[in-house]
A and B are shown apart, each in its own frame.
Chain A
Amino acid sequence: MAKKMLEGSRAVAEAVALCRPQVVSAYPITPQTHIVQELAQMVADGEVEAEFVNVESEHSAASVLLGASATGVRVYSSTTSQGLLLMNEVLYNISGLRFPVVLTCTNRAVSAPLNIWNDQQDSYSVRDSGWIQFYAENNQEAVDFLFMAYRVAEDHRVMLPAMVCMDGYILSHAYEAVDLPTPEEVDAFLPPYKPLYTLDPERPLTFGTYAEPDKYMETRYMLHRAMEKALAVIEEVAQAFQEAFGRPSGGLLEEYRTQDATTLIVGMGSMMATVKATVDLLREEGQRVGALKVITHRPFPAQALYRALRRAERVLVIEKAISLGSGGPLATEIRALFQGRPQSPQISGAIAGLGGRDITVETVRGAVEEAQRRVLEAEFLDLRPDLELEGVD
């Protein structure tokens, strides 16, 4: 391994190259463009032996990956925001067809109003599409999770697509030192993709079949079971990663100073670095606070989360997305974990950092203090008091 100072997008592009994809297809969209721009350059320079397919939309990019994956090759794309939403129909087809496509989502807010900055509403919106979702805290994870994503997705016990989510700008445009493994190391960790079924004129098969009510439901059940199985495979692959590269990364969750903690702050992605800094600060003041990072959002690591949270008195879930008319989706799912259990922590949910609003140590600290006073339902943090909001009483 060699540490390099790289822009997040460049680091991801180099990691993708190490995964040896045979087909890459993408449509430019901020803040994802740098990734595929770098990849296109690598392909043009002959550094990556892949077919780079230029398309007219993200819907087409995803469709190209679907078709290419059907021929049994490893494929890659990256997108964000409106681009991911435009892919949505194809995302369901890719998972339904059980193609282990991997894409990076550089998380960005969705329109309207137009906003190119970071939150996680885009990938949350495709949460139920049958894609595995990993959320990276930093660029090292955005790189590591790619190697693991392919290995999990292509595992014959799983055969599901996977999405590596990294916060737009905060990670994609930030320069960080990243450990990039050698091609030999990656080849040893990630063997070539062995498909179960492929499009081949010599041995014709029908892909994209029609399933009537007598069979459709079984296909969804099979998808759900594969998702459940992926939980163990993800842990197994994280273990294999540590053995191969000599440092921990990935898995379902990451605990930070949770020992003896009475208050746990839960979240995903880059904000967890700020949350950890806040935990350090509060610990110095003698507060028993810890952080729990959700790495794997789908499949939902229910058991691991329950075990990690059950001893806390208070849980505060901070998230960069909202199910409008309901609340924080992750907070809702975590509350459901404790339904029917003998005891439950007080679970607060907060929405923060939408459309690129900074989540600072003060944001997190203020939310912890508020959650110690009362249970927060779906509290919007750091709303501007100086704006008069029409229609809001």
Chain B
Amino acid sequence: MKMTLGAVAQAGTSRHYKTGSWRVDKRPHFLHIKCNADDLCALSCPEGCIYGQGKNTYFSDYDYCKGCGICAQVCPTKDIEMVPEVK
């Protein structure tokens, strides 16, 4: 492996870090009942791992989701619930 001057790296390396293992006890559960597709959950996600197009299509990629709960907090229709982590 080559160390570049200034430790400059290829772009998009965070894809290799599966931060989902950081979740401790809860993860977001998308109910898909009252979703109005305002995109707030995706825009607020610090990991950028919430995807969806149109009402009741949003989901979080659990490979990266750290379980912070911001999506559930900002959802105006309370269509996201933080649920206990299942083994």
Contacts and interface: CB of A to CB of B under 8 A. Distances in A.
14 contacts: A96-B6, A98-B6, A99-B6, A159-B5, A159-B6, A197-B8, A205-B11, A206-B10, A206-B11, A206-B12, A209-B13, A218-B3, A222-B3, A226-B5
Nearest to B7: A209
A206 B9 contact: yes
Contacts of A98: 5-6
Given A204-B12, A206-B13, A215 B6 contact: no
B4 interface: yes
A267 B10 CA distance: 45
Interface string B21-53: 000000000000000000000000000000000
A99 B5 CA distance: 9
Identify which of B6, B7, B8, B11 gathers the most chain A CB atoms within 10 Å of its CB.
B6
Contacts of B6: 96-99, 159, 197, 207
A390 B55 CA distance: 76
A197 B3 CA distance: 13
A219 B11 contact: no
B46 to A, nearest CB: 16
B8 A219 contact: no
Interface in A187-238: 196-197, 204-207, 209, 211, 215, 218-219, 222, 226
A226 B11 CA distance: 25
B36 to A, nearest CB: 33
Interface of B: 3-13
Classify the interface of chain A: helix, strand, loop or mixed: loop
B8 A206 contact: yes
Interface string A73-97: 0000000000000000000000011
B8 A209 contact: yes
B5 A205 contact: no
Interface in A219-265: 219, 222, 226
B8 A205 contact: yes
Contacts of A96: 6-7
A215 B7 contact: yes
A43 B4 CA distance: 35
B5 A211 contact: no
Given A206-B12, A219-B7, 6 more contacts: A97-B7, A98-B5, A196-B5, A206-B10, A215-B7, A218-B3
**Which 8 A-B residue pairings sit nearest by Cβ, starting from the closest?**
A204-B11, A98-B6, A97-B6, A98-B5, A206-B9, A197-B8, A209-B7, A209-B9
A211 B12 CA distance: 16
Nearest to B9: A206
A96 B13 CA distance: 20
B23 to A, nearest CB: 21
B53 to A, nearest CB: 24
A211 B6 CA distance: 11
B7 A211 contact: yes
Contacts of B13: 206, 209
